[in-house]
A = this chain, B = another copy of it.
């Protein structure tokens, strides 16, 4: 979408400031329709890739995974890495996510190729991903 100014949707004193905010993404919130393409960096600030999508728990409203695409990274070819939410830290300054993983860790991480999306409801799959990142399985109720 284009970055149109939105004249005074605002209440409050700072109308002018409010008007310059793109409303589908704020400091805090992002529209589900705009998630795709959010940048992903490593802790050294190198851009690794982008977010493909979030997988959202329909019951709790909590994002379970962010799927990252690392295109041609380490000549692995474009691949998609489902990262449990806890692996990610949002960096306001960089306007993207930081993953605290080094390349060798990513290399062996669970991933899939385009068109070969995993069965997200397969508990063995969830367990494999969470085990890889040393996290307890997200779904208590699963």
Mask of A33-58 contacts with B, CB within 8 angstroms, 1/0: 10110000000000000000111111
Name the interface size band of chain A.
35 or more
Identical chains in the assembly: 2
A30/B55 in contact, CB under 8 A: yes
* Cβ A30 vs Cβ B58 within 8 A: yes
Among B21, B27, B28, B123, the residue within 8 A (CB) of A11 is: B123
A12, A54, A59: residue with the most chain B Cβ atoms closer than 10 Å = A54
Known: A33-B36, A36-B33. A9 touches B53 (CB 8 A): no
- Does A24 have its Cβ within 8 Å of any Cβ on chain B? yes
A21 surroundings in chain B (CB, below 8 A): 119, 121
The CA of A70 and the CA of B133, in the complex, are separated in Å by 41
Contacts of A114 in B (CB 8 A): none
Which residue of chain B has its CB nearest to the CB of A7? Answer: B116
Query: Is the pair B121, A29 in contact by a Cβ cutoff of 8 Å?
Result: yes
Chain B CB within 8 A of A135 CB:
no
Do A10 and B57 touch (CB < 8 A)?
A: no
